[in-house]
């Protein structure tokens, strides 16, 4: 998937990235970030160097350029929210300031470390809730652009509670847009309200950059595991993001710690891994993607199933789709099923199969390109697009031939097929398990379909 950060781009740049991506493949999902309730420093004409002990004014003025003497920020009322003694962290903590004086229209701060400041860097005040609106006018503009240009995901920044997600959903609903919302969890409020956020969002991103500033850094590994588990249990996709290969912004090889970090995110059972600065501004973007791919492929081979947590079959898991999905995944272990095939109207069945984290690939045949791209976030799903066809059995045979041609299965392997008896949108109602050669050779073999007599 491609993620576009609207904090650093204009519409011309957006159009170029979207057209380039679509030219490469119709399978690649496109996600656009909103700024959300965040504060950033303003632009600078050149990199500003600070030394420990420097004094600098800080004020809210979205239009004024930042200088060595006065750091200006995007939130006009920041002075009202802070007091003498508060700590301010800029650029994920690269620069630390302490407020030593408060005036009507500005703060005087002491710089606590040697550092440099570039344009539009994040600003955090740990432990202080700043009463920012969930959506800015800029956010509304880019959400509107995403709807018009049929993007796939909106990642809403600094989600604090359920309402922040619903504010975005309302804009999508007003234009009947199928775009899915990813809630970025990057402060303590978001962590505290994760259960209600999961009720209304399509998935979450664990945005460790700002999260590691807003909460003690040593808590991040624990929070990452807790948040991933909650997402898997809720059958919602989860992305682990920020500084995964940070050293590859300037170096061609990762550190051993970064390699281990990626592997452990996979062992924790994340759906997706995200690169940011490594590919947005780094010297080695292609190498970073290749490196992450190699690490992910090796980690998936060595996942210890004994360390997995079991998803309970209770509550909404009494849903037929969820029950059958779990049995299909269990067949991978108990019957040595090598692949699970399903056809997708909404993608719900594939999402459920993904949540149970099986060892066999899930091959999802999608009638809608948007659903195909939506599933690009989900663990273990391989999607293809096929135009709608009343002959559901033909989908199954096409999938088998594709898997055979890709050497993902052999003719003697067992496969599972999840399908529905009641046509498009009728939901998953049956699970079929058989050997590939038997299915192909049995010309009279019939799957239950809505037009079967």
Distances from the Cα of 57 to the Cαs of 49, 50, 112, 239, 255, in angstroms? 15, 13, 14, 37, 37
In this structure, are residues 252 and 239 in contact, taking their beta carbons and an 8 Å threshold? no
Going by C-alpha positions, the residue among 166, 204, 210 that lies closest to residue 188 is: 210
Going by C-alpha positions, the residue among 381, 376, 324 that lies closest to residue 203 is: 376
Catalytic residues: 3, 40, 184, 242
Length of the chain, in residues:
453
Per-residue buried b or exposed e for 341-370, using 16+ beta carbons within 10 Å of the residue's own CB: bbbbbbbbbbbbbbbbbbebbbbbbbbbeb
In this structure, are residues 149 and 26 in contact, taking their beta carbons and an 8 Å threshold? no
Helices (H), 187-284: 188-192, 194-200, 208-214, 220-234, 256-267, 277-280
- DSSP annotation of 306: G
Dihedral sign computed on CA atoms, order 435, 440, 446, 451? positive
Find the radius of gyration of the CA atoms of the chain.
Answer: 24
């Amino acid at each position: 998937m491609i993620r576009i950060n609207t904090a650093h781009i204009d519409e011309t740049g957006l159009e170029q990235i979207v057209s380039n991506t679509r030219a490469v493949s119709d399978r690649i999902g496109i996600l656009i970030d909103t700024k959300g309730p965040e504060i950033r420093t303003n632009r600078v004409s050149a990199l500003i160097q600070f030394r420990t002990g420097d004094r600098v004014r800080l004020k809210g003025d979205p239009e004024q350029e930042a200088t060595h003497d006065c750091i200006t920020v995007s939130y006009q009322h920041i002075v009202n929210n802070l007091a003498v003694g508060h700590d301010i962290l800029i650029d994920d903590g690269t620069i630390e300031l302490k407020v030593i004086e408060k005036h009507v229209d500005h703060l005087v701060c002491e710089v606590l470390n040697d550092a440099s400041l570039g344009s539009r860097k994040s600003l955090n005040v740990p432990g202080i809730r700043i009463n920012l609106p969930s959506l800015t006018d800029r956010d509304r503009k880019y959400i509107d652009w995403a709807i018009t240009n049929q993007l796939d995901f909106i990642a809403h920044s600094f989600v604090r509670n359920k309402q922040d997600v619903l504010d975005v959903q309302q804009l999508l609903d007003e234009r009947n847009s199928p775009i899915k919302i990813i809630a970025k969890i990057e402060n303590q409020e978001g962590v505290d309200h994760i259960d209600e956020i999961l009720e209304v969002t399509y998935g979450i991103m664990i945005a460790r950059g700002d999260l590691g500033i807003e909460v003690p850094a040593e808590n991040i590994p624990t929070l990452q595991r807790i948040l991933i588990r909650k997402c898997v249990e809720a059958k919602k996709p989860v992305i682990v993001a920020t500084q995964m290969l940070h050293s590859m912004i300037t170096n061609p090889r990762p550190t051993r710690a970064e390699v281990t970090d990626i592997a452990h995110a996979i062992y924790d059972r994340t759906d997706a891994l995200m690169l940011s600065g490594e590919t947005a501004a780094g010297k080695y973007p292609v190498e970073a993607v290749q490196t992450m791919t190699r690490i992910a492929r090796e980690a998936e081979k060595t996942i210890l199933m004994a360390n997995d947590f079991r998803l309970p079959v209770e509550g909404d898991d009494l849903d037929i789709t969820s029950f059958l999905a779990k049995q299909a995944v269990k067949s991978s272990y108990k019957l040595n099923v090598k692949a699970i095939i399903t056809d997708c109207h909404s993608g719900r069945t594939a999402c459920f199969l993904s949540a149970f984290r099986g060892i066999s690939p899930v091959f999802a045949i999608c009638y809608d390109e948007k659903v195909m791209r939506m599933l690009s976030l989900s663990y273990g799903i391989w999607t293809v697009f096929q135009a709608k066809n009343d002959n559901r059995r033909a989908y199954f045979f096409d999938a088998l031939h594709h898997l055979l041609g890709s050497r993902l299965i052999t003719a003697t392997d067992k496969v599972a097929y999840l399908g529905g008896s009641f046509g498009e949108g009728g939901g998953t109602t049956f699970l079929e398990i058989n050997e590939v050669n038997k299915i192909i050779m049995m010309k009279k073999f019939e799957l239950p379909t809505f037009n079967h007599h």
